Amino acid sequence: MKKERLLEMVKILEKEYEKWDAPAKRFESAYRRTPYTIMISVILSFRTKDEVTLEAGKRLFAIAETPEDMVTLKREMIEKCIYPVGFYRKKAATILEVSQYIVENYGGEVPSTEEELLKIRGIGPKAANIILESAFGHKTVAVDTHLHRILNLWECIDTSSPKESFRVLKEGLTPDEQAGLNKLLVSFGQTICKPSRADCGSCPVESLCPATRLRSTSNIPTL
């Protein structure tokens, strides 16, 4: 891992973060943020755009924002609230199952350790790390497609999957260096370094990006 390059680019982006109108940032003020609403939002977000997840969460939490309230709803009502998130029927069932499990095993409180979170059906390592950081302030990193894609684009890591990227970052970065990395790079990936059409002209780290240099040299005519 090229740690110095990564930290240099992250430091620059941190100064730009407040300027970005990223869907991921809107979650902070969309509804009351609790460990439970954060957990349910993570479940909703699987294979769903943040804009869709955000609106689904707002509708759902308007009628139930605690596990005790959620388990009183019929699955069909939850489906109606969260549609059109991906796999909305399956997610509605998962939300009820997770909520019931939390009520029965944790007195309605979301657990604050990775070990306990992973006992909950429907919560995997990535989801657990997002919950730990967002809900409890733990210094950890969750690796999604944005973070995996961008760090490989920067050539800071050389990995073939988000799972491998997670391992490399956990081994190579201190907890302080991991903290906030997901939120920063997801927002960057949603506003500037988009997977389908990157806005390199507005990128604050363009001069440091190997992908930019590669595009520049490829445009030089050969003799």
What are the tens digits of pLDDT across the range 202-214?
999 999 999 876 6
Burial of 34 (0-12, 13-18, 19+ CB in 10 A): middle
Q: Which fold would CATH assign to domain 3-19+140-215?
A: Endonuclease Iii, domain 2 (1.10.1670)
End-to-end CA distance of the chain: 36
Of 34-38, 60-64, 214-218, the least confident: 214-218
Share of the chain above pLDDT 70, in %: 95
- pLDDT in the model for residue 202: 94
- pLDDT in the model for residue 216: 52
Q: Count of residues for the chain?
A: 223
Q: Which fold would CATH assign to domain 23-136?
A: Endonuclease III; domain 1 (1.10.340)
Distance CA 53, CA 51 (A): 6
Spell out the domain ranges in the chain. Answer: 3-19+140-215, 23-136
Nearest Cα to 189, choosing from 158, 144, 156? Answer: 144
**pLDDT beyond 70 at 152:** yes
Q: Which helix (H) or strand (E) holds 40?
A: helix 35-45
And the tokens for 201? 């002209």
Distance CA 142, CA 125 (A): 8
- pLDDT in the model for residue 174: 97
pTM (two decimals): 0.87
Q: Give the residue, 146 or 159, on which the prediction is more confident.
A: 159
Mean per-residue pLDDT of the chain? 92
Q: Which amino acid is at 119?
A: K
Q: In this predicted model, what pLDDT tens digit does every residue of 122-148 receive, in sequence order? A: 999 989 999 999 999 999 999 988 899
